[in-house]
Amino acid sequence: MSEKRQLHFGAFMRPVTIHTGAWRYPGAYADANFNFGHIVKFAQKLEAGKFDAFFMADHLAVLNMPMEALKRSSTPTSFEPMTLLPALAMVTEHLGLVATGSTTYDEPFHVARRFSSLDHISGGRAGWNVVTTANPDASKNFGREDHMEHDERYRRAREFYDVVTGLWDSWADDAFIRDQESGVFFDPEKMHVLNHEGKYLKVRGPLNIARPIQGYPVIVQAGASNAGRQLAAETAEAVFTSQATLKMGQEFYADVKARMKKVGRNPDHIKILPACMVIVADSLEEARQKRFKLDSLVHYESAIASLSIALGHDASKYDPDGPLPDNIPESNAGQSSREKAIRVAREDNLTVRQLAQRLGGHSSTCIMGTPEMIADEMEEWLMTGGSDGFTIQFPYVPQGIDDFVDQVIPVLQKRGLFRTEYEGKTLRENMGLPRPENQFFPTS
């Protein structure tokens, strides 16, 4: 009999909470995004709960919304991920540390060097979330007036990935001899100069740091569009996605895994981890009341701004109490967020106001109820091909983290659906992912 499947959990920690009203929730830490002491305690609590990883997304621009809305948001300030995560590596032992690195507004050498450094500092716990950066305002922070078109960003990302992994393979695993007697520090035959020249990038190499402990940090990808799914199938080992229903999750899961087969990859070597906000309570009705309280703390100005970002257009000009207009024009915003907003409006027959408040509060899957109810739903997703686990989004902190770790995790462990101890020392070991072969120095 095959071993029972187990869930994998990443914790979405940037912003530290996902709900717009979270910082105002009674008992919540209003300064959680920018208080290192709080974040240390969050990470250690996640590790006590045996989470796979602390997942830190990033933004390269303050969100483009009216000041009346922006002043109500907790998102303008947070730590830079590659500064924060090495510090967290010093106060944790097993928790994976995953950060966003943009393929549109960064350089491959920088990304390769930073993530290799994090992997060495953490003892093999790094992960790179490969993103193309959807926010068009980011271009203005990098000396560019125009934001690169959606599919073009993904074509650059594919080449970017090849360069970064090529740089990680600059050195054989045993290149550094460090023979004090002979005075030879490394074997020149085990160093590779990349000399990449492509459509978007030109990088010589080699990388000036040893190959990462894990071979490569775990590769995470978050796109849901056709181009994003293809990039995930070709490169990713974990996918952070947003799927509103189990049926949608199953369709996405099957699609990405099928694409992996087509490109010659083992579908078991990727973990699909949909975003999921979890609200724990003593009853479903109590959980609903908590959700109602959260949503009530979202100001309409912030809500309509979130809808505008999702659509790539100023939604404040629409009748707030009427339906979302037909034929919303195309935009250079994230394709998946735009399509999702339109679909939710149509499926649930929402007014613009209702849609804005939903998106402005929290727009991903929400599982709520008693610990047993939450465990039931997660088990269904796992066992019916909807996911390999979840990227957990906490409704407020610290209580949201404490509720999940102290109440839900024990139920899942009792059912054999979640680990009671970490499988190994590296993020790859804990996620059941193979260590990649060095493309230039394969082992015999």
Domains and CATH numbers, the chain: 8-283+365-431 (3.20.20.30)
Q: How far apart are CA 284 and CA 143, in angstroms?
A: 50
Q: How far apart are CA 413 and CA 432, in angstroms?
A: 18
Kind of pairing between the strands at 196-197 and 202-203: antiparallel
Q: How far apart are CA 122 and CA 199, in angstroms?
A: 34
- From first to last of the 444 residues of the chain, give the pLDDT tens digit: 346 799 999 999 976 677 878 889 999 999 988 899 999 999 999 999 999 999 998 776 666 666 766 777 777 777 899 999 999 999 999 999 999 998 988 999 999 999 999 999 999 999 999 988 766 666 666 666 666 778 888 899 999 999 999 999 999 999 999 999 999 999 999 999 999 999 999 999 999 999 999 999 999 998 788 988 999 999 999 999 989 899 999 999 999 999 999 999 999 999 999 999 999 999 999 998 998 888 778 888 778 888 888 888 888 899 999 999 988 877 765 667 788 888 888 887 888 988 887 787 776 789 999 999 999 999 999 999 999 999 999 999 999 999 999 999 999 999 999 999 999 999 999 999 999 999 999 984
Q: How far apart are CA 17 and CA 1, in angstroms?
A: 40
> Which of 111, 114, 201, 113 has the alpha carbon at shortest distance from 156?
201
Query: Which pTM does this prediction carry?
Result: 0.88
